[in-house]
Amino acid sequence: MSTNITGHTTLTGLLGSPVAHSISPMMHNEAFNLLGLDYVYLCFDVGVDNLKTAVDGLKVMGVRGFNCTMPDKNLMCELVDDLSPAAKMIGAVNTVINENGKLTGHNTDGVGYMQAVKDAGHDIIGKNMTLLGAGGAATAICTQAALDGVASINVFSIKDQFFDRAKHLVDNINANTNCKASLYDLSDKTELNKSIDNSYILTNATSVGMAPNTDNCIITDESVLRSDLIVSDVIYNPMETKLLKMAKAHGCKTFNGLYMLLYQGAEAFKIWTGQDMPVKEIKAKYFDK
């Protein structure tokens, strides 16, 4: 990161908890440097309890924009002045831009995930997906996958505060796309096993297994992990979750959330700066190791 901070340096950053592990500062600051932009990107550990205060402060300070991650994506919808069509449909925000005091929330997670699937060498269009979770990342993935042409998506979620919103999302997808979407209780192991058995790809879009709780795994029955199943995890810390280790041991092709992070970040970068992130250089330096 450049140390040439001036009185004109534009602030961007990340809100969430935890965020100390994030690669986003390295990625964005390197991109700013490569393009000669007087911007800086910082991390701020802010959970939902203090999110409104933080957003109000950033708005007053004239921040150009910021990302938000778990657990802030859903509440952020209520704190911005406007929502992009994608963010409105998803019900979660991961990117905010400040234009003359007006905050607009976007969601780039779904685009990032679908590009990550391609980067991993897979084509899931016209195929069946089992998606675990109904939070911000899960709804973004579900929406974009449906729009891009995934044949069916079975969403499994615990019956928490996100379940009713997930039901609305599934109904919306069925009404407005050719994708067949269904919602199930994650505790229904019979339906879960049946769904995975009929799926081309299994995606964990929850935080289960993320550091520091790396011994946790959302899948408890390893028998569902057949060798021709693709298994992905939005988590990238650790780089290989317990789920991915189990899947790999059963011969599954796997990938983590690193490239999703890269490509959702590239979309956010363009929203803030109007320029394309130098993805090739960023990928080579921070991701392909």
Catalytic positions are 73
Angstrom distance (rounded) from CA 161 to CA 139: 14
Q: Are 218 and 138 in contact (CB under 8 A)?
A: no
Pairing of strands 95-99, 65-68: antiparallel
Per the structure block, which two tokens stand in for 77? 């919808």
Residue 255 CB partners (closer than 8 Å, separation 6+): 116, 117, 120, 232, 233
Instruction: Identify the H or E element spanning 184.
Output: strand 180-185
Ordered strands of the 102-106 beta sheet: 39-45, 10-16, 65-68, 95-99, 102-106, 82-83
Angstrom distance (rounded) from CA 185 to CA 139: 15
Q: What is the DSSP letter of 49?
A: G
Instruction: Identify the H or E element spanning 253.
Output: strand 253-255
